[in-house]
Amino acid sequence: MNDREALTAYTASFIDELAVNQVKHVVVSPGSRSTPLALMFAEHPDITLHLNIDERSAAFFALGLAKALREPVAMVCTSGTATANYYPAIIEAYYSRVPLVVMTADRPHELRDVGAPQAIDQIHLYGKHVKWFVEMALPEQSDEMVSYARTIGARAVATATKQPAGPVHLNFPLREPLVPSIGNAKNFRINQEARTPNVTVRGGELQLPSGQADAVTKLLEDSKQGIIVCGELESDEIRAAIICLSKKLSFPILADPLSQLRSGTQTVENIIDCYDTFLRDEHAANLLAPDLVLRFGPMPVSKSLLLFLKKHRGTKHLVVDSGGGWREPAGLATDMIYSNEVAFSRGICDTIQAKEKSSWLQRWKKVNATTRNALESIRDEDELSEGKLFLLLQDLMPDSSQLFVGNSMPIRDLDTFFFTGDKKIRTFANRGANGIDGVVSTALGVGAVLDNTVLVIGDLSFFHDMNGLMAAKLQKTNLTILLINNDGGGIFSFLPQASEKEYFETLFGTPHGLDFSHAVALYDGNYTKAESWDEFAAAFTKSFAIPGLKVIEVQTARDSNVLKHRELWRFVSQEIKQSLFEEK
């Protein structure tokens, strides 16, 4: 076996093992040192290859694929600073628990730290932000090395997908020649009847022992004024299990917009979707003081909910975490429960006696309904506004669609104005590190594998990732982008920094005056600027019948946006007080 044959057998075996372990997609950025990996991925019949020229965009695109598919995705780049461009997406994947198999090509050891071109220190490059790092061995002419490559491939997928899921990093030092032998069906074990992994990794979900489960059940049974708080969640199984639990306990569910609990045909009678608004009212917050909090997933986006929970610090606070982590930034937890959320909820549902419908639950539902009616009042406004855009999405989006939302103001307006509905709308956002970079690319990754994908994004976040639009052009990805352009950083107008008038616009508002139509044209997209709500609705509805990239820009004003939100909050407080007064 010569060097080329050794390279071929080694890389082909590793990649084939990824495929056997259900890696179905890879995102490749072009480069010389990564040639053997790129070519072997292109050759594999069971893996779909996505090309993305820019590594930063490529990594976020892979993140979007993995989020959408709920399965590990591979990514490959060449050596040098290309690897550093992966870092922001790897950080996001780590904190949002998304499985990625990151492969970086590298110079061989004799070319490191000697001034060789495109050679940087890639050992443990991503630090604590990957679950596992491996400096791969150089390809050699032996059956043992082929077995080694397959074993590492199986272990990489198992490590990435084991809860808490996350990225793993494999660094491949490669010597020339870099071109493997392609076109040989024997490179992969495709035609073998019993195509099993080289190493089968078995594992199970975390579950509470019966004694501990009984103790938790007793806490829930004794609670008279409990609430269920749900952060970002994924599967339909979790949704059904938590709804069952809510019914048995007669607890309201405070559902973050990323919990997947606000959309779908399953019963939503106990779901509270306007808490972010009404918990700003001190009277309502005092009236709704809980004696127990049961939380699933990470902390929701709502700051008013966080402050509400902190106000009741002495309350029993149970956090269920399937990954055995510590996602508890408020320091409120009295019990950390390491268990699969579905198994935990079903176990409680199967053993606990159903409670009678209580005035406690009805109080939450009444305040929520009053708030929702008040927020719906903005439907009558003619002026283009950020809140109304989100209010209309539930009406205008098709069933079985995907809604990706940018950070900063869009995710907060989604929380405030996106109510429960019968349509099945799956929601996404990058809430691991909450950055505004890479959002376009992540949404394009979702759109590459799921139909009817919509991205709502602010102008600064769009600017940060305009080069991500190249993926839409190269791969003809269908994506509708609703671009909210308030010419700067809108969220800062809500923060204390807004009082610093002398420096606010320069340091925080950061107006840019960009005409985004040129960027859309550069990538062969379809651009529309909506001047009215009728134009917006028509363009948005039409966009689902147009292939490729569609950008609908809605211009708003930061100052008036702040005023509208604050006026609504005051109006809601008035309506709540009136409603509670009538109750007495």
Query: Any alpha helices (H) in 352-479, and if so which ranges?
Result: 359-375, 386-396, 409-417, 439-449, 459-464, 470-475
Site of tokens 């959309």 = 263
User: Domain coordinates of the chain in residue numbers?
Assistant: 3-187, 220-372, 381-561
Rounded CA-CA distance 419/271 in Å is 10
Residue 584: the pLDDT is 54
CATH of segment(s) 3-187: 3.40.50.970
Q: Give the pLDDT confidence score for residue 582 in this predicted structure.
A: 63
The single residue listed with the structure tokens 């975390």 is 206
CB-CB contact of 54 with 77 (8 Å): no
pLDDT at 194: 53
Reference 468, options 437, 492, 496, 494; nearest CA is: 437
The CA–CA distances, whole Å, from 324 to 319, 341, 415, 581 equal 10, 11, 27, 45
Which has the closest alpha carbon to 306: 379, 369, 254, 234?
254
Say how far apart CA 570 and CA 51 lie, in whole Å. Answer: 50
Q: What is the pLDDT of residue 213?
A: 87
**Equal fold, 220-372 vs 381-561:** yes
End-to-end alpha-carbon separation of the chain, Å?
88
Instruction: Name the stretches of the chain with pLDDT < 70.
Output: 1, 185, 190-195, 265-267, 490, 492-493, 495, 498, 581-584
Cross-strand partners of 78 = none
Place of tokens 């199986």: 154
Do 259 and 232 meet the contact criterion of CB atoms below 8 Å apart? yes
Tell me 285's DSSP state. H
- Nearest to residue 243, comparing CAs of 264, 212, 218? 264
Note whether 487 and 459 are within 8 A (CB): yes
Question: For the chain, what's the residue count?
Answer: 584
DSSP 8-state symbol, 263? B
Looking at domain 220-372, which of 3.40.50.1220, 3.90.660.10, 3.10.20.30, 2.40.30.30 is its CATH number? Answer: 3.40.50.1220
574 Cα distance to chain centroid: 36
pLDDT recorded at residue 581: 62
In degrees, rounded to 5, the angle at the alpha carbon of residue 210 between the alpha carbons of residues 204 and 215 is 125
- Tell me which CATH homologous superfamily contains domain 381-561: Thiamin diphosphate (ThDP)-binding fold, Pyr/PP domains (3.40.50.970)
| pLDDT value of position 267 | 62
pLDDT above 70 covers a percentage of the chain that reads 96
pLDDT of residue 552: 98
Comparing C-alpha atoms, which of 247, 244, 251 is closest to residue 347? Answer: 244
Q: What is the DSSP letter of 509?
A: I
Q: Which of 466, 454, 462 is nearest to 408 (CA)?
A: 462
pLDDT of residue 411: 97
Instruction: Please report the pLDDT score of residue 207 as a whole number.
Output: 80
Peptide linkage before 329 cis (omega within 30 of 0): no
**How much is the CA Rg of the chain, to the nearest whole Å?**
26
pLDDT tens, position by position, 363-382 = 999 999 999 999 999 999 99
How far is residue 462's CA from residue 456's CA, in Å, rounded to a whole number?
10
